[in-house]
Copies of this chain bind each other. A is one copy, B any other.
Amino acid sequence: MTKSGTTESFEVCFLPAGLHAVVPGGTPLRDAARLLGVEIESLCGGRASCGKCLVRVLESEAGEDGLHSQAAHVSELSDAERRARAAGRLGDQERFSCQACVEGELVIYVPEASRVGRPIVRKRAGERECALAPAIRKYFVEIELATVGESRGDWDRLQEELCVRFGLDRNLAVDPLALRTLAEALRGGRGRLTVTVWQGREAIRFEPGFSERVLGLAVDLGTTTLGALLCDLQSGQVVAQASAHNPQIRWGEDIMNRIASAKPPGQLAAMQQAVAEAIGELARDATLAIDAKPDDVVEVVVVANTVMHHILLGLDVHSLGVVPFSPTLSRSLDVKARDLGIPILPSANVHLLPIEAGFVGADNVAAMLAAAPHVSEELTLLIDIGTNGELVLGNRDRLLSASCPTGPALEGANIRFGMRAARGAIEKIRVDPATHEVRFRTIGVPRWSDRQPPEEIGARGLCGSAVLEAVAELVRAGLIDSTGRLYSELPCRRLRQGTDGMWEFVIAWAEQTVIGEDITLTQADVRAIQLAKAALYAGSRLLLERFGAEQPDRVVLAGAFGSVIDLERALAIGLFPDCGLDNVTAVGNAAGDGARMALLNVTSRQEAELLARRVEYLELSTARGFNDAFVAATQLPHAEDRFPSTETRWSPKAAAG
């Protein structure tokens, strides 16, 4: 009853795309789908061995004679399908689309797992959807073992097979070091092997038999810490994470120290090697967690600030330390892992996202990629707070950026009891406006200090968000005035002059700490926060002025700090312009998210390149009006600007009243 051999044509509808095609009888479902641009996954190139191109035959219109059963509109099960069904790998209605051919009108459902480029819907708020289009694809191939009379090499024959079966370029290149493993892979798989291809251009790995997993690493290379997300490039999922301190810390804590340390002969190479090995260790740790090997990492994307970016590439950083802070390279670059000395698959590609300008690095480009100010009509202010505060203001029409010299106060550095956001750091602070009593919470302790026995509080110091909250709380309590002066007309047992004569406010008494002394916020700490927030606010103001706008439509805070701070309190002290609290979001490690997007989707890399070139960089240190804006912004919340969202509850007057 089948119609094989007929030259009739039939309509096939593919769901969920809902596309219709009329194809000749005998056309494999996969080819019919392809005609419509519905790409069905296929690793084995139509050999029915990968099981990736599975579809469901949903229903079919009756044929013109009204007699055909649904099954009659599609070709009979192939041997491979029969085996798969017997093994339970192929359900009743399911078919391999490379095997099943159209023999009548059909409605076919293509499950998400079978679709190429299926979108990943990201779960976290503020995250951008990212379609899967990684630089890496794997192909399962079978070639005949060489016979007498065959003069072509194994690679030559494999290359032809990849061209013919998968449509890869005739000039498909092969990594010369990867080629060393070809003979063994062919022997091990008896002619069946899996070839990993980068960008459709170069074969970079040969594995015996069928190997499905494709792993990539997104690395956020910071001055202080390195974070890595190990991603499955076929599902888009993060399958493991790892982080570590940047081993370059022994050459100096901050960027300027690193630049100076890189100058003596051999030091740059040593710093380069240290960070390359550290990335290798992240790869090792992350792959170990899922029972894989560093050699399974076949693609890496790195985002970093300009100095870290240059050191990883072994590029001279001297010019980054002096005006005009000019980089050797700003556009993106692809480098073999072995050329950087990163101990993963030697032929793996490492993609470095482009950098924008002297101090605005690839990390900021990645943050833009993730926060995507450029895809919207809304005017977005993106604030990425690290040792520098990096700002992007813009929308789909125009993008401006600036780097604000905030200093490290917001990260808890240069604060008397400041510390990194680690166990024992006080991260949240509440001050009773009336009694001036303090409650706080430390990282790693789930409850507030007032309900805890002292030994469980275990406070060691203040992290950046706590310092900022403390300032906001003390302003509301009337203990800090709008100029930032720490004082009280009324007696307050927590407010005192320290041994150095400087005024300070006790946040935790010695008995609540594990360091045996009172943890205080000093007048100098308040000044440091004022300077940091003034730099950030003045930078934002100048960008708005340059853009010709009064306020942004939304504010996006990126970076770990942005996720931890209390947005209301941050706004209360004037950290950023007020566009309503509902329009402020914290997106966490946007740079890391951007790196992951670039790892999962090659068009994101082009997008990043365009973004880096499109964004106009405003050098604040020489910009007219920056000093005035800065001075005005040192006031709490500001000498002139208003913060309507918070002023009823948070202004000093409210507290005084």
Contact = CB atoms under 8 A, between A and B. Distances in A.
Interface of A: 146-156, 159, 174, 176-177, 179-180, 182-184, 313-316, 318-319, 323-324, 326-331, 333, 335, 338-340, 355-358, 360, 617, 619, 622
Nearest to A175: B339
A326 B155 contact: no
A330 B324 CA distance: 51
Contacts of A619: 148-149
Contact of A327 (B147, B154, B315): B154
5 contacts: A146-B324, A149-B619, A174-B333, A176-B335, A183-B316
Contacts of A356: 151
B180 A329 contact: no
Q: Which of A155, A177, A328, A357 has the most CB of B within 10 A?
A: A328
B326 A180 contact: no
B183 A331 contact: no
B183 A153 contact: no
A177 B339 contact: yes
Contacts of A316: 180, 183-184
A349 to B, nearest CB: 11
B153 A327 contact: yes
Nearest to A314: B180
Contacts of A151: 330, 356-358, 360, 617
Given A146-B319, A148-B619, A319-B146, A179 B328 contact: yes
A619 to B, nearest CB: 6
Contact of A150 (B152, B326, B339): B326
A155 B313 contact: no
A326 B154 contact: yes
B150 A324 contact: yes
Please list the 8 inter-chain residue pairs (A to B) with the smallest Cβ-Cβ separation, ordered nearest first. A146-B326, A151-B357, A153-B330, A183-B316, A153-B327, A148-B324, A153-B329, A176-B335
Nearest to A316: B183
A153 B331 contact: yes
Contacts of A179: 313, 315, 328-329, 333
A398 to B, nearest CB: 15
Given A179-B313, A183-B315, A313-B179, A154 B328 contact: yes
Contacts of A327: 153-154
A316 B206 CA distance: 14
Q: Which of A324, A355, A356, A619 has the most CB of B within 10 A?
A: A324
A358 B153 CA distance: 9
Contacts of A159: 331
A533 to B, nearest CB: 26
Contacts of A152: 330
B313 A180 contact: yes
A357 B179 CA distance: 18
Nearest to A272: B180
Contact of A176 (B146, B153, B333, B357): B333
Contacts of A358: 151
Contact of A183 (B155, B328, B360): B328
B313 A156 contact: no
A335 B173 CA distance: 11
Contact of A153 (B177, B326, B335): B326
B149 A324 contact: yes
A183 B318 contact: yes
A153 B177 CA distance: 31
Contacts of A357: 151
A319 B356 CA distance: 51
Given A313-B176, A315-B179, A329 B155 contact: yes
A159 B177 CA distance: 29
Contacts of A314: 177, 180
Contacts of A156: 329-331
A417 to B, nearest CB: 39
A155 B315 CA distance: 11
A470 B355 CA distance: 75
Contacts of A319: 146, 183
A298 to B, nearest CB: 18
A279 to B, nearest CB: 15
Contacts of A182: 315, 328
Contacts of A318: 183
B148 A315 contact: no
